[in-house]
Chains A and B, each alone.
Chain A
Amino acid sequence: EPEVTQTPSHQVTQMGQEVILRCVPISNHLYFYWYRQILGQKVEFLVSFYNNEISEKSEIFDDQFSVERPDGSNFTLKIRSTKLEDSAMYFCASSDPGGRGYTFGSGTRLTVV
């Protein structure tokens, strides 16, 4: 079964540093998403991306966040200057049109120290 692949699985970074989280969505999916889960809390929507532009972003997705599809396969989330409160599990997901086939990656655990 097709998978969404995320790298790295774990990342530790110092406060103020930039991080890039990477995702390879399912190849025939057109819609891409990032979600965040702070430890012990619910999963929260960050941003959706279609046709090389953001479709919707949440209030969490402020100016320190950006997303990009640099080539035909990768989808990245960049956090420009990390804060302690950015420590969380970040999930990438992709879906086919209409959202009937919605698949999550296994996540990247980001720890900001």
Chain B
Amino acid sequence: AQSVTQLDSQVPVFEEAPVELRCNYSSSVSVYLFWYVQYPNQGLQLLLKYLSGSTLVKGINGFEAEFNKSQTSFHLRKPSVHISDTAEYFCAVSKISGGYNKLIFGAGTRLAVHP
């Protein structure tokens, strides 16, 4: 079975500062990795995903994440945040298979960007 740990429940940061949201996963098989963002009272928007290939993945809104297999991590980074990045961020994992793939989500990290 897979599991996801998001190490920080809340991350406060000032506008234009860099930010890193941490995600570690556990799995006995190879996995796909995802980051989703959820703005207040809205749905889940895919930021980026790692399927294979380059371990540095670039997503929307200036976010990127690096897959580190040895450390089983997939941390999300942004070099300079905006007020509009204030949201809940979820890391998720699914096993690689030819069939269906349920996503296992972490508990989420609330990013609060202050002026």
Contact = CB atoms under 8 A, between A and B. Distances in A.
Residue from A42, A91, A99, A102 with most neighbouring chain B CB atoms (10 Å): A99
B34 interface: yes
B44 A43 contact: yes
Given A42-B107, A44-B105, A56 B100 contact: yes
A105 B43 CA distance: 7
Interface string A20-57: 00000000000101010000011111001010000110
Contacts of A44: 105
A91 B36 CA distance: 13
Nearest to A103: B46
Size bracket of the B interface:
20 to 34
- Identify the interface centre among B92, B97, B102, B108: most chain A CB within 10 Å of its CB: B102
A7 to B, nearest CB: 13
Contacts of B94: 99, 102
Nearest to A57: B102
Interface of A: 31, 33, 35, 41-45, 48, 50, 55-56, 91, 93, 95, 97-100, 102-107, 109
